Structure 1
Amino acid sequence: MGASCCKPEAIDFEGEVNLFHFYLLRSVGKGAFGKVRVVQHKHSKTLYALKYINKAKCVKMKAVANIVQERRLLEEIDHPFVVNLRYAFQDDENCFFVLDLMLGGDLRFHLDRAGAMSEEVVRFYVAEIAMAIDYLHSKRIVHRDLKPDNILLDEKGHAHITDFNIAVHFSERRLLTGVAGSMAYMAPEVLTKRGYSAPVDFWSLGILAFELLFGKRPFRGRTNTSLTNSILNEHLIWPDDAPDKCSTDGMQAIRGFLERDPNKRLGYRPGGGGFEDIKAHPWFRNINWDQLYNKEVVPPFEPDSKRANFDATHELEELLLEENPLKARKRKEGQDLEMMTPEMRMMEEHFKIFDYTKTQRRSYYTPATSTSAAGQTTSNGTASTAVSSHLSPKGISRPGTPSDRTGVISKTGLDVEAQILDGGGMANVGGRGLLKGTSMDGRQDSLDIRPTNGKQPTPLRQSSTGPEKVEEMKNVGSAI
């Protein structure tokens, strides 16, 4: 009779998703304020990656807006070459993302372990990533942090973009100005702070392709100043053995991505066809893009399924060092939102439950103004000049860039985006939760994080004074 008291409660799989719906398996990653582990849905038996973020650490590091924004953006996204969101929920201590599981490791892991990659492999990754970037841009999303660390391989070897915690929506009337991302992969227009939009992701793709091919990045420096000068001014110099490792077409494509003028960058030249220009480039002549999209092309590299394609120390740390191991907990009842801090209330109200089996994907983005024709009056009563965008079905497929417009860099944000529009919200965050100094070697990127206002804006209110100005450069090693 006494044993009946210990019988576990039945799980309601028809109710709202929560951590009780999953088996917790091994830990596979760790970041500044969150961790990743493999989980299995108890009903469907499907394996996923569970990314969980401690709320208290999130508040302390001023990253609440980033977490809510990432949650919102991921609800909007569903693409073969993106690590897609499947479930989202929270308990009293953590916010949870349940994502597609990628067992092949990230490209940084493979680059460190095996060194530079063959041209065939790099071209395959660049094509898949470019397709995902084009999809994100069609959703008015700019990633801002493309690098080998944020490209994950599945067990067959297909590439997927992950880590959207500094991604934001862009629009022709609200060019971004914040220095956000990993410095060595930042486009020149990001560093000059004159306004930028979608083309920055293709610059980062060019840096990534160069690094995968030659094992080093094209622009380097031991300090922020020298690295910035290299990105802004130095000529693109190829290694001596470049002709042996890469074809002329390949070098031409990389040079096209690394064009300093965003209007001349591959895929964004005036009057260009956007992604069609990339598809038509000689380097990609043998790629069947429809088969690639459907993952019918066999990847040239298949990760070793018998080896762990990630740092195995994460699991050891979880076992030996974790003071409060993750486990499913029921939520406290009757919590008063009014008694919470603004940051905790923001997560409570806006990190909403998502279940891909029940919820239709949607976008939270609503432009403040619209410009659909030359000379059309915007919502604030001012005349506007038309800017072509590949988001318009009949328009030219190229988002606007700073060279298309002058004097329209807006610093007013929308809802959560107001807090991270100009650079993110995370302060004092190093690569794997460490505080970083101001000088690094060419391999890593230093941080220059200077919030000008210690207070976080009131959540989800349109601010008449614009967003909090925060400049943030995420370290190259960030895993979450």
Structure 2
Amino acid sequence: MGAVCCRPQPIDFDGDVNLFHFILLRCVGKGAFGKVRVVQHKQTRDLYALKYINKAKCVKMKAVANIIQERRLLEEIDHPFVVNMRYAFQDDENCFFVLDLMLGGDLRFHLERLGSLPEDVVRFYIAEIGSALSFLHEHRIIHRDLKPDNILLDERGHAHITDFNIAVHYSERRLLTGVAGSMAYMAPEILAKRGYTYTIDWWTNSDLTHSISKDALRFPEDAESKCSRAGIQALKGFLDRDPTRRLACKPNGEGFLELKSHPWFSTIDWDTLDTKEQTAPFIPDSKKANFDASHELEELLLEDNPLRARQRKERDITSLSAEMRQMEEQFTPYDFKNMQRRSYYPQTQIISTVTATSSTGPASSRPVTPMTIANDGAQDYPFNQKQMLDENGQRISDAPVVEMADMSEKGQ
């Protein structure tokens, strides 16, 4: 009797999103208890960044509440200068965030490579990040960990805030007191432990604890040869220890108006900033893969349990630990197509016009733009159009070729 060939189960694109909906591509980042890789939606052919977090490690590091909080906050956020969440789901081992894919790398990468950025580039990024912060603060959200690692660029050079792992809601009536964030970027009111609010997000990096709290502000002797007087004034404003005087920190939305009217930002066209119509003064090199290629090698050679789509097991969640049960119950599925929101990546796509179809129907109402892939020296890596496979080993012959340029380790 001949062997019976088992055909793969059809994918239900009308049901809750899961890992079977995506083609797994390159691994591009690694965090404390999760990784980041590029994925492509099998139906729409859209590219995203998939951040996946191992549940057991999450429990071990006492980070369950952070993951659930990040999931809830990202559902509230939709802004052109934020790395927005598009889908969320889980399986037996991992929690998944599907996020906007940023191909331009993070600011840490570019600062380390270039040494410094021109003043007009810094001004442009602060304007875009300021727009995102104004949105977050209007929705009573504090990021608490703004730093170069958490600012990602898209392929056109626009800046986006990412990593909401320690972000929280705030209230003017009840100040926050938790010491959270990266020490080198903490505002002095966090270290003072007398309570703080959204003003901490407007603090610009100085030095560590004593310098943040006590040292006089000093600029290099040649500062005025590298930065305009208006730029130095803006920096002094961002570094004011008194949050009531700090630039952009006036309450009730007046802070962002103050920022926009500052002389240093006179060259910014605020009317077209959020639509990304302006050409960024720095555009990342699309021919380079600006992320650590060792993440991919590590995934191929060292990973005992590589990521793949798996059917969920039938089990009684009451038998799970309290933390595992909390993730099962509170890390709920999310699909941005059901939220009637605009997608800012690509910038012109209205996602509410995209309708889910069956696996045999048309892929999407949006045309796909073919791109090319930079393998960063990995000559045998199966990322060209002819070799792209799904998790069942089936070749995706009609998939668009994708461009892998700059991705950050943290990011996505």
Shift of 1:336: 1.3
**d(CA) in 2 for partners of 1:85, 1:59:** 23
> Which residue in 2 is equivalent to 1:69?
69
Runs (4 or more) in structure 1 with deviation over 3 Å come to: 1-4, 269-272, 477-480
1:49-95 superposed Cα distances (whole Å, 9 cap, x missing partner): 00000000000000000000000000000000000000000000000
RMSD: 1.6
For residue 339 of structure 1, the aligned residue among 319, 323, 327 is 319
236-245 or 190-199: bigger deviation = 236-245
Per the alignment, in what secondary structure is the counterpart of residue 86 of structure 2? strand
> Match for residue 336 of structure 2?
356
For the 8 Å contact 1:105–1:153, the answer to whether it is kept is: yes
1:323 aligned partner: 304
Q: What per-residue deviation string (whole Å, max 9, x for no partner) do you get for residues 155-208 of structure 1?
A: 1110000000000000012211011000110000000110001000000xx22x
SS at match of 1:48: strand
Mapped partners of 1:163, 1:93: distance in 2:
21
Shift in Å, 1:265: 0.7
| Residue in structure 2 matched with residue 459 of structure 1 by the alignment | none
Offset, 1:322: 0.6
Deviation at 1:259, TM superposition (A): 0.7
The residue aligned with 1:196 is 196
From 251, 260, 264, give the equivalent of 2:232: 251
Q: Is the 8 A contact 2:26 2:37 kept in 1?
A: yes
Q: Residue 304 of structure 1 corresponds to which residue in structure 2?
A: 285
Q: Which residue of 1 aligns with 2:387?
A: none
Distance 1:86 1:26 in 2: 19
Residues 264 and 270 of structure 1 are in contact (CA less than 8 Å); yes or no, is this contact kept in structure 2? Answer: no
SS at match of 1:24: strand
Deviation at 1:6, TM superposition (A): 2.7
Matches of 2:251 and 2:54, distance apart in 1: 45
Task: Evaluate the alpha carbon distance shift between residue 2 and residue 192 of structure 1 in structure 2; reply closer, same or farther with a 3 A threshold.
Answer: farther
Q: Give a deviation string over 1:103-158, Cα, whole Å, max 9, x none.
A: 11000011111110100110011110011011000110000000000000001110
Q: Which amino acid aligns with 1:318?
A: E
Corresponding residue of 1:276: 257
Is 2:133–2:201's contact at 8 Å kept on the other side of the alignment? yes
- Percent sequence identity is 70
Deviations 1:344-397 (Å, cap 9, x if unpaired)? 011000000000012468xxxxxxxxxxxxxxxxxxxxxxxxxxxxxxxxxxxx
| Distance in 2 (alpha carbons) for counterparts of 1:11 and 1:2 | 27
Q: Per the alignment, do residues 271 and 61 of structure 1 end up closer, same or farther by CA in structure 2, a change over 3 Å counting? A: closer
Which amino acid in structure 2 is aligned with residue 108 of structure 1? R
Q: Is 1:161 aligned to residue 142 of structure 2? A: no
1:71–1:107 CA distance, 2 compared to 1 (3 A): same
Q: Post-superposition shift, 1:286?
A: 1.5
Whether the aligned pair in 1 keeps the contact of 2:86 and 2:98 (CA below 8 Å) is: yes
Name which of 230, 233, 250 aligns with 2:214: 233
Partner secondary structure for residue 201 of structure 2: helix
How many pairs does the alignment contain?
345
Partners of 1:250 and 1:94 in 2: CA distance:
45
Does the aligned pair in 2 maintain the 1:87–1:99 contact within 8 Å?
yes
Question: Which position in structure 2 is the counterpart of 1:290?
Answer: 271
Q: Secondary structure at the match of 2:5?
A: helix
Q: Aligned to 2:40, what secondary structure does the other structure show?
A: strand
Give the superposition deviation at 1:338.
1.4
SS at match of 1:5: coil
Deviation at 1:479, TM superposition (A): 5.3
What is the DSSP-based 3-state SS (H/G/I as helix, E as strand, rest coil) of the residue aligned with 2:73? Answer: helix
Query: What is the CA distance between 1:320 and its match in structure 2?
Result: 0.8
Partners of 2:251 and 2:275 in 1: CA distance:
30
SS of corresponding position for 2:24: strand
TM norm structure 1: 0.70
Distance 1:3 1:282, change over 3 A: farther
SS at match of 1:357: helix
CA distance in 1, matches of 2:252, 2:137: 17
Superposed counterparts of 1:295-444, under 5 Å: 295-333=276-314, 335-359=315-339
1:291-327 per-position Cα deviation (integer Å, ceiling 9, x unaligned): 1110001001111111101111111111111110000
Alignment of 1:52-63 (within 5 A): 52-63=52-63
Does the 8 Å CA contact 2:191/2:209 hold for their aligned counterparts? Answer: yes
CA contact (8 A) 2:162 2:411 kept: no
Deviation of 1:272 after TM superposition, in Å, equals: 8.3
> Which residue identity is paired with 1:344?
M
TM-score (norm 2): 0.81
Aligned to 1:461: none
Contact 2:68–2:330 (CA<8 Å) still a contact in 1?
A: yes
Report the equivalent of 2:101. Answer: 101
- Alignment partners' CA distance in 2, 1:2 and 1:86: 45
Preserved contact between residue 67 and residue 165 of structure 1 (Cα < 8 Å): yes
Is the contact made by 2:188 and 2:213 (CA closer than 8 Å) also made in structure 1?
Answer: yes
